[in-house]
Structures are given as C-alpha cells and as structure tokens.
Amino acid sequence: MNVNAAATVGVGRRWVIKCVTPLVVAGTMLACSSGPEKPKPAELSTNVALVNARLAWSARLGSVNFPLDIAVNSRSNVLSITAAGSDGVVASFDASNGRELWRSNIGAAIAAGVGSDGVLASVITNANEIVTMEGGRVLWRQKLNASSYTAPLVAGGRVFVLSSDRSVTAFDGQSGRKLWSQKRTNEALVLRQSGVLLAVDDTLVVGLSGRLVGMNPLDGSVRWETPLATARGTNDVERLVDLVGRVSREGSVVCARSFRVSVGCVNADRGTLLWTKPASGSEGVHGDERAVFGVESDGRVIAWNRINGERLWSTERLQYRSLTAPVVVGRSVAIGDSTGLVHLLSRKDGSPLTRLSTDGSAVATTPILAGNTLVVVTRNGGIYGFLPE
C-alpha cells in the first residue's frame, strides 16, 4: 500500500485527514494535511418549540475527545448514568436529578468507555489497559494486546472487549482473569470510533469488519455471522466497511450501519439478514418498532422502514452540521450537532419540533434516554439532563 495515501477517517464525529502507513498498528494514523474546505452548515430557522423541554440538571466532567458511550443502569431503585472524561475521571450520576453517586480518577487518559452493568464499570486507557471499577474503586487492570475504541460490554459477570485488531476477549468481572480470546485475520486499517458490541439474550453480538457475528459468551465460539456490507475498492481505505455503534435493537432484531456503505437489519436469534440498503453515513443508528433512523455524512437525516428497509422520509434541514447518531425520545428523534445544539425532529416526518442549547461546544456522543431524562455530554465536559415532553 502507498505510504502517502490519505484516508478520511471518523474520530468520534470529527473528520480529519489521516496518513496511512503499514508501519504502524491498525487504526493508528498520523495527521498529514488539511482537507478541502467544508460546506457551510445549513442555516437554522426560528425555533418552533412545538414540544416542551426543560433543563432539569447539569454537571461537569473533563473534556471528552474519545468515542464516549454513556452507560445507563438501574440499581436500588436509582436510575444512573455513568460517563467519563479524556483525563481519566469516571463518574456516575442519578439520572433524575444529576446527584453525583461517585467519582473516580483512574490515573490514565481514557480511549474508550464507559461499559457498565450498574455494579461494575469498565473503560479502556490510551495505554491499552482495561480498567474495571466497582462504586468508583478500581478492582483490576489488564493489559490488552491492541488498542480499543469501543466501550467494554459488562454483562453476566463478565467484561467483553472488542479491540482494534478485531479480537474479542472476555474477562471475569471480579478478578480480571482472562477467560477466552478470539481473533479474526487482521486487516490493514480500522476506524478509530466505537464499534458494535452488545448482548442479545444469550448471544454476544459483535461487529467484525462488515459482518455481524453471534458468539457464545462462554467460550467465544461463533454461532452465526451475517454480512451487512462487502469490501470494495482498490485500496485499504476504500475497503473499510467496519460496523459502527450505536445500533438499534428491537427484540431479537439488530439494525446497524456499515461505515459509509449501508444500513441493515439482522435477526440475532437465527443470524439471518432481513434487509440492507445503501447509505453513506459514519454514525450509528437508532429506532423504534416502526423505523430505523440515521444521519448521512452530509447531515441528511433518514428514516427507513424497519420491516423492509424502504425509505420513509428524509430531511436536509441539518445538512453539514456534523451530527451525532440519533436517539428516539417520545415522538421525537434527538440529534446533537457541532455547535452544542440538540435537535428534536418528528419521528413521523422529520419536521423540527424544538432544539435545546448546551455550552456551545460540540455534542460529544449520541444523546441517550435515561428514564424520562435526555442526557447530553459535550466536548467541553458538560453533562445536561433535559426533560422533554
């Protein structure tokens, strides 16, 4: 491969031009040049405020410059969210009022996280360590063989890690003892953003390149694998088809996005492909029983029919605003942008319902719904709990 080739690769939601070289590990790329001038973001119309939403609480963490996942859990009648900053601070909050439950500094910069089951919380450091805590107290650390940009999955007393070398590893949640590890043939490049790793009943579902793979969580053996996209193009950059988080799960049906290639749905009980459609986005998807929602790289927001993949609607109102993946909130779809705004669009037709303001820095990760609270984290480390209609 040509060492001077350039690849456009997503880091969180930011686009940068990266140098590609076979002399570094997969996923590690060096900035080499600035890209062409970006199109101007779409102008926003006056906020129509057709739904009511108010700020219920706010909190602070350090800045967030990695693919953060916000963990939502319920324990002892408290619905909590757990988040982290790049500087190593991990904290848990009561989702209803923002009360801090615990805060810890793991003493190392964070590259991926947070995964939690409500008892244990795990993150990945820039030094390729997985660190697992209980109530803010570090239980154990383990060195990984490769970097990881996906939040660990904590489930069934185990901690699962998807690494950039496309290996999947399981650890005992209390001791950190490695239980098993499975690895696919390594490819030249990997996206530096969150991948797909979730539990569907008793199956561990993982995104490996352009495939959803169902694994036995007890030993890592493969139960099924289903392609959502096929590598194409003439070089390693053009052949990137990694599946990106987040996903939309309804029952046993999991819908996911292949990086800039497609969106599709798979029955995770049987590993059968239900449908796949061309799509050019780089962020994950969300949905409900009727539709799957996603954003394209140019900022178009699209709804696909969950049953057959046919397009239900599309809107260009948020073009070129560097959008997060969407999340369904009541009759709305919530999407963050690079100016710290959160846009609530109608699930029915994509029309604007209202928009919410944060601190003016980019929304760092997909907003999440914790009970009745819409939680938003910004690049500057602001955490905001909104109560929408």
80 and 99 share one domain: yes
**N- to C-terminal Cα separation, the chain:** 53
In a domain, 232, yes or no: no
Task: For the chain, give the percent of residues with pLDDT over 70.
Answer: 90
Q: Residue 124's domain is classified under what CATH number?
A: 2.130.10.10
15 and 56 share one domain: no
The predicted structure's pLDDT at residue 20: 34
90 and 60 share one domain: no
Which residue range(s) make up the domain with 58? 41-65+318-389
Q: Residue 346's domain is classified under what CATH number?
A: 2.40.128.630
Q: Alpha-carbon distance 384 to 60, whole Å?
A: 9
182 and 118 share one domain: yes
In a domain, 356, yes or no: yes
- Reported as a single tens digit per residue, the pLDDT across 155-206 is 999 999 999 999 999 999 999 999 999 998 766 678 899 999 999 999 999 9
The predicted structure's pLDDT at residue 34: 53
93 and 142 share one domain: yes
The last residue of one of the domains, among 165, 192, 219, is 192
The predicted structure's pLDDT at residue 186: 65
Q: Alpha-carbon distance 9 to 292, whole Å?
A: 24
In a domain, 257, yes or no: no
In a domain, 304, yes or no: no
Report the sign of the C-alpha dihedral through residues 329, 333, 337, 340, in that order. Answer: negative
The last residue of one of the domains, among 135, 162, 192, is 192
In a domain, 114, yes or no: yes
Token duo for residue 71: 């963990």
79 and 179 share one domain: yes
Number of domains comprising the chain: 3
In a domain, 238, yes or no: no
H helices, E strands: number in the chain: 0, 35
The predicted structure's pLDDT at residue 7: 37
In a domain, 153, yes or no: yes
The predicted structure's pLDDT at residue 35: 58
The predicted structure's pLDDT at residue 31: 40
81 and 184 share one domain: yes
Over its C-alpha atoms, the chain yields an Rg (Å, rounded) of: 20
186 and 72 share one domain: yes
Q: Note the maximum CA span of the chain.
A: 56
25 and 84 share one domain: no
Indicate the length of the chain as a whole number. Answer: 389
51 and 167 share one domain: no
183 and 167 share one domain: yes
342 and 360 share one domain: yes
The last residue of one of the domains, among 152, 170, 192, is 192
Q: Alpha-carbon distance 386 to 363, whole Å?
A: 14
Q: What is the mean pLDDT of each run of 10 residues along the chain (389 residues)?
A: 35 35 36 65 94 96 96 92 98 97 97 97 98 97 97 97 96 98 81 95 96 97 96 76 96 97 97 97 97 98 98 98 97 98 98 98 97 98 94
The predicted structure's pLDDT at residue 238: 74
In a domain, 323, yes or no: yes
Q: Which of 288, 292, 366, 278 is closest to 323 using CA atoms? A: 366
